[in-house]
Amino acid sequence: MSIESLFLEVATAKLAEYCDRIEICLGKLTDEQIWMRGGANENAAGNLVLHLAGNVRQWIIASLGGSPDRRDRDAEFNARGGINKADLAARLCETVDAAALVIRALTPEQLTGTYEIQGYRVSGVEVVFHVVEHFSQHTGQIIFVTKMLTGADLAFYAHLRAKPAVP
């Protein structure tokens, strides 16, 4: 396996993992909780899901995949409801699946090529890396708000817990 193909496979696996975790979080929240904000300068989980879908579409599907860029970033943050958790999860997972197809098909030339996105001049590697790390950051925020609102142990790392000693 080449370094390029390993990088692309890990990137798509991480996006799928984070999408699954967000889907679990959305499943534990009510539709009302998904749109709750602590303050005017904070984002609800629903806004973060819309933002992630928009970011992945713009940076991967449009910029690397050649699809039209129709992103309305402000609308992602201005939303105050109107989309239920099932639709949010479906939108995000469909976007990640479409992005994974683009990412897996990238050539070394595309990875080393230069792209202009949101005023940034970046390589294809930087595009993929940015999307994965950006997705990770907001996944952590969604996990935090889910734990805060529900008190649930999401058990994402339950396998690492120490086993009780057997007498």
Domain ranges (residues) in the chain = 3-160
The helix (run of H) or strand (run of E) holding residue 155 is none
Pick the CATH number of 3-160 from 1.20.120.450, 3.40.640.10, 1.50.10.100, 2.102.10.10: 1.20.120.450
pLDDT higher than threshold 80 for residue 167: no
pLDDT higher than threshold 80 for residue 164: no
Q: What is the pLDDT of residue 62?
A: 98
Overall pTM surpassing 0.85 (yes/no): yes
Rounded to the nearest angstrom, the gap between the alpha carbon of residue 66 and the centroid of all alpha carbons in its chain is: 20
Q: What is the pLDDT of residues 93-136, one digit of tens each?
A: 999 999 999 999 999 999 999 999 999 999 999 999 999 999 99
Mean pLDDT of 19-23: 98
Tokens of residue 109, six digits: 């030339």
Please enumerate in sequence order all residues whose Cβ is within 8 A of that of 148, keeping only pairs 6 or more positions apart, or say none.
none
